[in-house]
Amino acid sequence: MKIYGDRQSGNCLKVLWTAQVLGLDYSWIDIDVLADQAKTPEFLAINPAAQVPCVVLADGRMLAQSNAIMLYLAEGSRLIPTDAYDRAKMLEWLFWEQYSHEPYIAVVRFQRHMAGLKPEAIEPKLVQRGYAALDRMELALSTSAYLVGAVASLADMALVAYTRLAHQGGFDLAAYPHIRGWIKRVEADFNIKD
């Protein structure tokens, strides 16, 4: 299996971490998105959507979109709850992550940390919605060590990717003790290092 990704992207890292945690055999191929390497004819032949992450499986089939890749890789593993309700809750968090978390936390992080925009140049609604996402997570983690059940799942893998870097977007996690504790637990559980 080949994993195409940019290590600056939380979406790419969560695929890489899933493969590592599960001990899968893979090759990592760096694609520098800022250098437009996802738009080269060679990469477009692999993924016409010009996006990373994507994987090319051993049989040559390609799969894109980080959460879809994670679900495929983790099928039948400890990262996906066996209980139907818990599995649905995990999927609920995965869908929420792409709609209500990543578009704000990750986008503001990109604009501040990668593109170098000043705080006043960031759309205020992006920051407000980022804090709303953090509020939602803090509430959930105030009653549970993980997002679903008593052990870490793909929900935690997906959401820790950008949450642990929220400070790079100017998000202050000081008021979020449950999130800070959760980040440490998930990093330790999955052996995530900077």
Res 143: pLDDT: 97
Instruction: Return d(Cα 16, Cα 39) in angstroms, integer.
Output: 21
| CATH 1.20.1050.10, the chain: domain bounds | 84-189
**Cα dihedral across residues 94, 98, 99, 103: positive or negative:** positive
Quick: pLDDT tens for 63-100. Answer: 999 999 999 999 999 999 999 999 999 999 999 999 99
Instruction: Return d(Cα 72, Cα 76) in angstroms, integer.
Output: 9
Res 36: pLDDT: 95
Judge contact between 160 and 5, C-beta under 8 A: no
Give per-residue burial for 57-73: e unless 16+ CB within 10 Å, then b.
Answer: eeeeeebbbbbebbbeb
Judge contact between 166 and 172, C-beta under 8 A: no
Quick: pLDDT tens for 163-178. Answer: 999 999 999 999 999 9
Quick: pLDDT tens for 58-72. Answer: 999 999 999 999 999
| CATH 3.40.30.10, the chain: domain bounds | 2-74
For residue 36, with 0-12 CB atoms within 10 Å meaning exposed, 13-18 middle and 19 or more buried, which class applies? Answer: exposed
Res 194: pLDDT: 66
What is the CATH class of 2-74?
Answer: alpha beta
Res 93: pLDDT: 98
For domain 84-189, give the CATH number: 1.20.1050.10
Quick: pLDDT tens for 101-158. Answer: 999 999 999 999 999 999 999 999 999 999 999 999 999 999 999 999 899 999 999 9
Res 193: pLDDT: 83
Instruction: Return d(Cα 181, Cα 145) in angstroms, integer.
Output: 8
